[in-house]
Amino acid sequence: MVLSACRMLVQVPASARRRGAVVAGLSTLVALAGCGATTTLNGAGASFPAPIYQRWFQELASKGVRVNYQSVGSGAGVRQFLSRTVDFAASDVPMKADEIAKVSQGVVQIPMTAGAIAVAYNHKGCELKLTQAQLADVFLGRITNFSQLGCADKPIRVVHRSDGSGTTANFTAHLSAVSPAWKAGPGNAKTVKWPTGIGAKGNEGVAAQLNQVEGAIGYVEAAFVKAPLQAAALTNAAGELVKPTLASEQEALASIDLGPDLTGSSPNPPKGYPIVTFSWLLLYRSGNGANHEALNRMLSFSLSDQAQAMAPDLGFISLPPDVLAKARAAAATIKP
């Protein structure tokens, strides 16, 4: 849709302007500053990258592109993409071959940013350090008190995602990689049958539950870990206890082979923090029509050095140079 705008319109809740914070079902709306033609793009999907997308889409205001992005989870984003009700989608797990086969226009999947999934908890004075077995046993419901983990006595209350989620898929892929019991039980997917705990929608919802309940523990994208929440140190494939830091996350990402289609991942990287993931935009290879130029502008800015440099301050990881070069090449294959 093309419209005329004579002032900037930014609809961003106050709570969403805090570093790394977004609101469930967030819609970021940005219009062109000054009078002129503006193209509107509609997207939906992962809550994991929503804070950085929100920032990028605000910056796009001066470039004549208005973006409405709904943070509804990777699963819902893929469903909307398949039904062609959005111009693009976002997911923390690439589309599968059978899903891609349903899209007659073809699909281009482009890594846009990256981050870590933290095991966040609310227990003041506890410095949680988890072995791989302990991590799985917490979410299997076998460990039920922080005293079993070397901290002060307090019942553990697990919080997990209730919606279809790439964050869940990546987190449970790690659990399946390090725990035979988890692999044989809940397994890994965007939705699983949780042995214990309560559900909440989106990274935002899980973080809110963790903040409200003392003794709560769950998994969220690292940018959502704010006081009083803390991130546990996890044991990686090399047997080292590692917290999610920019350095440990970059080390892990550097060990992942994305492959020729840029959709590779590793559920248990050999180095660094053990639960890291890229996040992808899903675009139609052709059939974009009048939106083609706007999509080009959106991708060109989001994959620019300027936009990528914003990542660390928002709790994300800038794409490595070689990945960025491949992402830009993939973006160039999108047609009207």
User: For 2-114+277-331, which CATH superfamily applies?
Assistant: Periplasmic binding protein-like II (3.40.190.10)
Q: At 11, is the pLDDT very low, low, confident or very high (cuts 50, 70, 90)?
A: very low
What are the domain boundaries of the chain? Answer: 2-114+277-331, 116-254
* CA 79 – CA 164 distance, rounded (Å): 10
pLDDT in tens, 273-290: 999 999 999 999 999 999
Alpha-carbon dihedral angle through residues 50, 56, 57, 60, given to the nearest 10 degrees: -170
Q: What is the CATH number of domain 116-254?
A: 3.40.190.10
pLDDT in tens, 35-59: 456 889 999 999 989 999 999 999 9
**What is the rounded average pLDDT of the residues 189-194?**
96
* CA 12 – CA 26 distance, rounded (Å): 8
Same fold, 2-114+277-331 and 116-254: yes
Q: At 75, is the pLDDT very low, low, confident or very high (cuts 50, 70, 90)?
A: very high
- Whole-prediction pTM value? 0.81
